[in-house]
Structure 1
Amino acid sequence: MSVYTEPALDLGLTCLPTYLVIDASSSMSPHQGVLNATLERVYQTLQRSPRVSEFAHICLIAFSTDPHLVIPMSEVSQVPVMPEIVCAGATEYGKVFELLRQCIENDVTALRSGGWDVLRPAVFFLTDGAPTDRHWKARFDALVDPGWPRRPHVISYGFGGADPAVLKQVYTKLAFLADGSDSEAALSEALSSMLNTLINSSANNQLTLAVQTTGFQTIALNREYMD
């Protein structure tokens, strides 16, 4: 299987700031139970994997009409319980991209102050619909601005009513679109894909992405960094 591998740092303790950004709008309400059950499974797996938890510091953000910082940047082993996400509201992209930029700026500074060598952040963006705000793209462009040294890699997963034309604008590395009508299965698979990426990345001490995900088609792939 083809993979993308981010060059590793050969210094001290290395961490990958990881942002899991989940659409929690009203269209996700029918899948709220599966979402929370799958997040709990991811959480339990990371709790049992201290190496992965240490390497992949995680921030969980849910977004709808407004974004909500569910778990601030943390080692999962230090998170006592996985909070439940409630799905309601519109699908506003712009606000969450703005919050992400602020979080990354603050988190990278804090991690470096704590003695970590910080890899470029990774954002896993999951959505089941199109944005309801009109001017979101400018905020996404600011998030991934080549002139910003802390710009993240973005990997997007779309399912349900996600628009492939929009998804192709919300990525820097990979964009996936579910190839079936089973949104709950796609949601579970997307989170499993993210978990597997973190496990593989921690083993390699560098970001390692599979360019294929079960149940999804790859609709956008940035080959600039491919081996």
Structure 2
Amino acid sequence: MSLCLPTYVVIDASSSMKPHEAVLNATLSRLHYNLATNPRVSEFARVSVVAFSTDVHVVIPMSDMEQVPTMPEVICGGRTEYGKTFERLRQCIEQDVSTLRAQHYSVLRPTIFFLTDGGPTDALWQNSFRALVDRSWPRHPHVIAYGFGDAQRTVLERVATKALFIADGSDTESALSGAISGLLNSLIASSKTGQMQIATDVKGFEYVQVAQEYVD
């Protein structure tokens, strides 16, 4: 059986990202190109791209990026709804892991790369998050968080279960590019070892070790 890492790239597309929309889409296109042209990574990491604001949009469902011709455009606007996002991710993971197993993959623990430039606008998001990372659910994912702009470190310390990166003052567009590069380097390293590896040296970010509660 081939190993497979279900990977979710979860991007904040709320109104605060609107001024950076063109750079966001260019950065996502670069991610797509790098994944699609690296056969080892695209075979190992099945990737889904999710954009969230007031609503949650699965921009690309779980895919071999070699088979995805282009990255659809993300439109920014709306609130920063964490709760709906975590609910939708749990649904996606449940479905995607079953699909990958049916395709005879040996499925590693799903990994979420969570990129945000702001704090949650919904008060009860932690209920949905607890359900997502509940260790009694066999498919609970790792969460690697990248915060920039007005993202709240204290909030992201509760979201990140595997690693946390906080922008060190770089502008939003540079930080966004750095986060995607860090994500890509993590997937490249993981594809070489066959297990989740985190690239901790990310340009423009401070690496923060997270609380040990969720770490395997």
TM-score range, shorter chain: over 0.9
Q: Tell whether the 8 Å contact from 2:170 to 2:204 is kept in structure 1 after alignment.
A: no
Aligned with 2:124 (options 115, 118, 135): 135
Counterpart in 1 of 2:147?
A: 158
Following TM superposition, by how much is the alpha carbon of 1:212 offset from its aligned partner in structure 2, in angstroms? 3.4
Following TM superposition, by how much is the alpha carbon of 1:138 offset from its aligned partner in structure 2, in angstroms? 0.7
What SS does structure 2 have at the residue aligned with 1:209?
Answer: coil
Counterpart in 1 of 2:15?
A: 26
Q: Where do 5+ consecutive residues of structure 1 fail to align?
A: 1-11
What SS does structure 2 have at the residue aligned with 1:208?
Answer: coil
Deviations 1:122-162 (A, max 9, x none): 00000000100010001001000010000000000000000
Following TM superposition, by how much is the alpha carbon of 1:218 offset from its aligned partner in structure 2, in angstroms? 2.2
Change (3 A) 1:176 1:122: same
Aligned with 1:80 (options 52, 69, 72): 69
Q: Tell whether the 8 Å contact from 1:56 to 1:202 is kept in structure 2 after alignment.
A: yes
Structure 1 position 71 matched with structure 2 position 34: no
Counterpart in 2 of 1:190?
A: 179
Q: Tell whether the 8 Å contact from 2:9 to 2:47 is kept in structure 1 after alignment.
A: yes
Structure 1 position 113 matched with structure 2 position 102: yes
TM-score w.r.t. structure 2 length?
0.96
Identity %: 58
Q: Tell whether the 8 Å contact from 1:164 to 1:219 is kept in structure 2 after alignment.
A: no
Following TM superposition, by how much is the alpha carbon of 1:214 offset from its aligned partner in structure 2, in angstroms? 1.9
Quick one: distance in 2 between partners of 1:181 and 1:214? 9
What root-mean-square deviation, in Å, do the aligned CA atoms of Structure 1 and Structure 2 show?
1.3
The one-letter code matched in structure 2 to 1:141 is: R
Q: Tell whether the 8 Å contact from 2:183 to 2:199 is kept in structure 1 after alignment.
A: no
Q: Tell whether the 8 Å contact from 1:168 to 1:220 is kept in structure 2 after alignment.
A: no
What SS does structure 2 have at the residue aligned with 1:70?
Answer: strand
TM-score w.r.t. structure 1 length?
0.92
Deviations 1:159-191 (A, max 9, x none): 000011111111111111101141110000001
Instruction: Tell me which stretches of 4 or more aligned residues in structure 1 moved more than 4 Å.
Output: 222-226
The one-letter code matched in structure 2 to 1:107 is: D
Quick one: distance in 1 between partners of 2:69 and 2:203? 31
Aligned residues: 215
The one-letter code matched in structure 2 to 1:79 is: V
Deviations 1:178-214 (A, max 9, x none): 0114111000000110001111111111111123322
Aligned with 2:169 (options 180, 192, 206): 180
Counterpart in 1 of 2:80?
A: 91
Counterpart in 2 of 1:7?
A: none
Following TM superposition, by how much is the alpha carbon of 1:223 offset from its aligned partner in structure 2, in angstroms? 5.4
Aligned with 1:45 (options 34, 38, 43): 34
The one-letter code matched in structure 2 to 1:144 is: V
Quick one: distance in 1 between partners of 2:201 and 2:158? 19
Counterpart in 2 of 1:125?
A: 114
Quick one: distance in 2 between partners of 1:67 and 1:24? 9
Counterpart in 2 of 1:4?
A: none
